[in-house]
């Protein structure tokens, strides 16, 4: 039995609605954009962001159960 670390790739602030995606090329979160390159939700620059990653997120996945899915 081997475990795989699962990391979030998208997050949304529950206070201001800012949406960000993880960018592997720069190793950082970036503002999410639509197909035309327009920002999806900029949010507030003064917000102390409260991301929607909570206790229900499971950071480890059993590889055997992932293969069954």
Strand partners for 39: 33
Contact 43, 17 (CB under 8 A): yes
Q: Count the domains in the chain.
A: 1
pLDDT of residue 60: 80
Inside any domain, residue 63: no
What is the extent of the structural domain holding 15? 9-48
Inside any domain, residue 60: no
Strand partners for 58: none
What pTM was computed for the model? 0.68
Distance CA 21, CA 30 (A): 5
Inside any domain, residue 3: no
Q: What is the pLDDT of residues 20-54, one digit of tens each?
A: 999 999 999 999 998 898 888 888 889 999 987 77
- Indicate the length of the chain as a whole number: 69
Extended strands (E) in 1-69: 3-5, 10-12, 19-23, 28-31, 60-62
């Amino acid at each position: 039995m081997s475990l795989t670390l699962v990391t979030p790739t998208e997050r949304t602030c529950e206070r201001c609605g800012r949406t960000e995606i993880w960018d592997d090329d720069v190793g950082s979160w970036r503002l999410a954009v639509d197909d035309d390159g327009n920002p999806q939700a900029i949010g507030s620059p003064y917000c102390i962001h409260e991301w929607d990653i909570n206790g229900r997120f499971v950071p480890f996945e059993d590889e055997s159960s992932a293969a069954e899915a």
